[in-house]
Amino acid sequence: MNSNNTDKRKILIADDDDDSRAMLSFLLEEEGWEVKEARNGEEALETVIKEQPDLLILDNRMPKLSGIEVYQQIQAQGIKIAVVLATAHGYLDELASSLGIAHFIAKPYDIPELLKTIESAYTSSFS
């Protein structure tokens, strides 16, 4: 989490689906977030390190590094960031639980549920 950013909350959308990223980016900018995007796991990891976003929406199935691999590398480097794990596959709760990720959402997104999950993850990162 970037505690130095007091002006605008920063979020990274890591998803290889261009349409999904574009939709989320538009939606979250409307909600007041500063949005960064990554098209694959490698970009996601680099952007987390460089931009220090407050929150990461992490798709599990991405090229170069999977969401799981990105999350594990973030943990290994001791980076503190709120994470919302996302996938279109049915084992999401088991996967998130096995990694210790408390916030997750299934794709396709239910927008009110997504916004609620993002706010919950962001708020939890301060406690």
For 3-53, how does the pLDDT look when each residue is reduced to its tens digit (9 = 90+)? 444 578 999 999 999 999 999 999 999 999 999 999 999 999 999 999 999
Mean pLDDT of the chain: 91
DSSP-derived letter for residue 29 is H
Dist CA 11 CA 95 (whole Å)? 22
Provide the residue count of the chain: 127
Answer yes or no: are the C-beta atoms of 34 and 12 closer than 8 Å: no
Instruction: Say what the pLDDT of residue 91 is.
Output: 81
How far is 75 from 36, CA to CA, in rounded Å? 20
Strand partners, 108: none
Helices (H), the chain: 18-30, 41-51, 67-76, 92-99, 111-124
8 Å CB contact between 99 and 127: no
Q: Find all residues with CB under 8 Å of 63, minimum gap 6, and list them.
A: 16, 40, 41
pTM: 0.91
Does residue 72 carry a pLDDT above 50? yes
